[in-house]
A = this chain, B = another copy of it.
């Protein structure tokens, strides 16, 4: 064990076991569920060799694909044996599956889960029953097929057609153009054998909008594509090497009438079209998905933070006055970056799990999403869209900063940081482009402003919380956030009003003239949600010292926001004056020293195995350099001391040029 890490752990005031339990409770709903999941993880890791122990980075894409597919099936079976659904969000959390797969997510169940949920939400009772029976007697690997080469965000723009043939009572699914070819569905290339295809329903040449159709992609018998369907992997990406995102091309294939999911709209056998259900159901599906994504993003963030904080305690660099190389964690510039990441991690974990609780509560109160009050649903939608965006932006920002904070070694794949950056990057685009999502949030905020109602969410029991002693320390910050929000919204609304009333702009034009500011106010709105949920969560902590440490960390997070991200608007809109801002900046710098002494234990509290982190820099025992050298020696390029290409490239070059072969 590295002696610096021993000292960091000894000198911290945090009770690490209680902190783990507290975070476990937050993330898994109860301490007992947390322990159950950790126990499951440990048993899984004992049974299935984690990729951290395989020579994973040396594999090519084919080999990675095969390894992850194989382990995914093993995990799937292991979970079945243990009577735990592999779709369970608790299991899907990287903390559990990640023990085996590190940052490589389980290959198919994630997508099959989305496939199943869509059938449940959009299918009639008969359809749900039928497709469940299919799934019970076959090994269905499902995927959700929406985006096309030429169409992403704008669902109504999809070109794939589903034309109803009244004679045969079938739909003809077709990709009429190059740009209509489906692109990106996860596992859609070479793995999935079934898919839900979003396509434009056409009856009697009439465009009836986008509907969902179940299509078999590959034969159960031999896994070949069904005739008329061509699927394939889309090639290398910025990450996810083991995963096949697919392209899918339909050449007038036919599926039965029954394969359109008909809970919300019905096509009768004679071709009559009827809208039946509520569109709110669409929101419900997205809410569940986004809650999960926020949690996933916050976990990714915690992984990169753990690596950077531990390595900053181990790494020593440059000399101080006594000629000793200090731990790099003692440099202000290092603290300023990694503790920003640390404080953000805790805040986003609190917010993600708060959102999930909020969605679950809303769902169980009404027992049916369709019964939620529209006002509540709109707010939940605005929060979940914005929080997904901000979680992944934050995750990407700090994954990259943490990589830089680890210096050169951070750039080695041995650091474990590379796939985290890559996944965070992807997360900023998939399931909704971050900017588009923030504009959805902003649209809600603007409507609230026009109606004169507050958009802000108050966590449970908030009226009591604001009476607590702890809140006294935070009141000033909450006041700043809210005043800033109000002033900023007044400014934007004023600009919109001016453009429409004075300049004669349409609402559409005025909106597009303000989108840069609207994105910014949406971010601020989400920040207020994040700090509110964080404060509410911390208040639940029963260990006085741990609570104190967490409240310092939250203060640090808030001070970063006010003095960095929102500083310009805060001064400009007169929320703080120059002296006030300067004092806040100094307060931030002095808090860094307080957080420093508990920082290693604060990342230990995330409770990761080394096989979760897949990082030699973040290993629990801190034996960084030995592991790094082992990693290096294992490089595939080192199979022979003289690389085999020598005989094909350098040797012939020497020979051709008759270069002297000795000195």
Taking Cβ atoms with an 8 Å cutoff, the residues of A that contact B are 57-58, 60-62, 65-66, 69-70, 73, 134, 137-139, 147, 149-154, 156-157, 178-179, 181, 183-184, 189-190, 216, 219-225, 232-239, 244, 247, 316-321, 325, 331-333, 336, 396, 400, 403-404, 407-408, 410-414, 417-418, 421, 425-426, 428-430, 433-435, 439, 506, 508, 512-516, 519, 563-564, 567-568, 570-574, 578, 581-582, 589, 625-626, 628-629, 631-638, 641-646, 648-651, 653-654, 657, 659-663
Q: Are B628 and A157 in contact (CB under 8 A)?
A: no
Can you list 20 residue pairs at the A/B interface with Cβ under 8 Å?
A65-B643, A65-B645, A69-B650, A73-B650, A152-B407, A153-B407, A154-B317, A154-B318, A157-B317, A157-B325, A178-B626, A183-B628, A220-B659, A223-B650, A233-B635, A236-B635, A333-B515, A407-B433, A411-B425, A516-B589
Would you give the shortest CB distance from A64 to chain B, in whole angstroms?
10
Q: Are A237 and B411 in contact (CB under 8 A)?
A: yes
A138 to B564, CA, bound (A): 56
Contacts of A232 in B (CB 8 A): 632-633, 635, 637-638, 641
Q: Are B413 and A646 in contact (CB under 8 A)?
A: no
Take A572-B581, A637-B65 as given contacts and tell me if A331 and B400 are in contact as well, using a CB distance cutoff of 8 Å: no
- Out of B73, B516, B660, name the residue touching A653 (CB < 8 Å): B73
Q: Are A319 and B650 in contact (CB under 8 A)?
A: no
- Out of B317, B400, B563, name the residue touching A152 (CB < 8 Å): B317
Q: Are A407 and B425 in contact (CB under 8 A)?
A: no
Q: Are A318 and B414 in contact (CB under 8 A)?
A: no
Residue of B nearest to A334 (CB): B435
Q: Are B70 and A649 in contact (CB under 8 A)?
A: yes
Q: Are A138 and B635 in contact (CB under 8 A)?
A: no
Q: Are B318 and A412 in contact (CB under 8 A)?
A: no
Would you give the shortest CB distance from A246 to chain B, in whole angstroms?
9
A519 to B633, CA, bound (A): 37
Q: Are A429 and B407 in contact (CB under 8 A)?
A: yes
- Out of B61, B428, B574, name the residue touching A578 (CB < 8 Å): B574
Contacts of A321 in B (CB 8 A): 506, 508
Residue of B nearest to A646 (CB): B223
Q: Are B400 and A632 in contact (CB under 8 A)?
A: no
Q: Are A244 and B404 in contact (CB under 8 A)?
A: no
A653 to B396, CA, bound (A): 37
A224 to B647, CA, bound (A): 12
Q: Are B65 and A233 in contact (CB under 8 A)?
A: no
Would you give the shortest CB distance from A29 to chain B, in whole angstroms?
32
Q: Are B516 and A336 in contact (CB under 8 A)?
A: yes
Q: Are A653 and B519 in contact (CB under 8 A)?
A: no
Take A152-B407, A238-B418, A318-B154 as given contacts and tell me if A637 and B233 are in contact as well, using a CB distance cutoff of 8 Å: yes
Q: In the A-B complex, list the 7 residue pairs whose CB atoms are closest, starting with the nearest.
A: A567-B568, A236-B413, A233-B637, A66-B645, A235-B635, A234-B632, A60-B60
Contacts of A316 in B (CB 8 A): 150
Would you give the shortest CB distance from A536 to chain B, in whole angstroms?
29
A156 to B325, CA, bound (A): 11
Contacts of A660 in B (CB 8 A): 137-138, 220
Q: Are B332 and A516 in contact (CB under 8 A)?
A: yes
Contacts of A567 in B (CB 8 A): 567-568, 572
Would you give the shortest CB distance from A200 to chain B, in whole angstroms?
14
Would you give the shortest CB distance from A267 to chain B, in whole angstroms?
22
Contacts of A238 in B (CB 8 A): 403, 411-413, 417-418, 421
Q: Are A516 and B633 in contact (CB under 8 A)?
A: no
Q: Are B181 and A331 in contact (CB under 8 A)?
A: no
Contacts of A514 in B (CB 8 A): 332
- Out of B57, B235, B573, name the residue touching A632 (CB < 8 Å): B235
Contacts of A219 in B (CB 8 A): 662
Q: Are B61 and A636 in contact (CB under 8 A)?
A: yes
A662 to B69, CA, bound (A): 22
- Out of B149, B564, B571, name the residue touching A628 (CB < 8 Å): B149
A626 to B568, CA, bound (A): 45
Contacts of A634 in B (CB 8 A): 235
A631 to B220, CA, bound (A): 28
Q: Are B629 and A181 in contact (CB under 8 A)?
A: yes
A319 to B134, CA, bound (A): 39
Q: Are A429 and B414 in contact (CB under 8 A)?
A: no
Would you give the shortest CB distance from A648 to chain B, in whole angstroms?
7
Of A317, A325, A336, A582, the most chain B CB neighbours within 10 A belong to A317
Q: Are B62 and A644 in contact (CB under 8 A)?
A: yes
Q: Are A641 and B147 in contact (CB under 8 A)?
A: no
Of A239, A648, A660, the most chain B CB neighbours within 10 A belong to A660
Would you give the shortest CB distance from A111 to chain B, in whole angstroms?
15
A319 to B508, CA, bound (A): 11
A644 to B626, CA, bound (A): 37
Would you give the shortest CB distance from A591 to chain B, in whole angstroms?
13
Residue of B nearest to A243 (CB): B637
Take A408-B184, A426-B411 as given contacts and tell me if A179 and B638 are in contact as well, using a CB distance cutoff of 8 Å: no
A637 to B245, CA, bound (A): 11
Contacts of A404 in B (CB 8 A): 425, 428-429, 433-435
A403 to B238, CA, bound (A): 10
Take A221-B662, A632-B183 as given contacts and tell me if A153 and B317 are in contact as well, using a CB distance cutoff of 8 Å: yes
Contacts of A396 in B (CB 8 A): 400
* Extra pairs beyond A216-B663, A232-B633, A567-B572 (6, CB < 8 Å): A220-B661, A232-B637, A237-B411, A238-B418, A333-B519, A411-B425
A589 to B429, CA, bound (A): 25
A412 to B246, CA, bound (A): 12
A62 to B662, CA, bound (A): 27
Q: Are A139 and B439 in contact (CB under 8 A)?
A: no
Q: Are A247 and B190 in contact (CB under 8 A)?
A: no
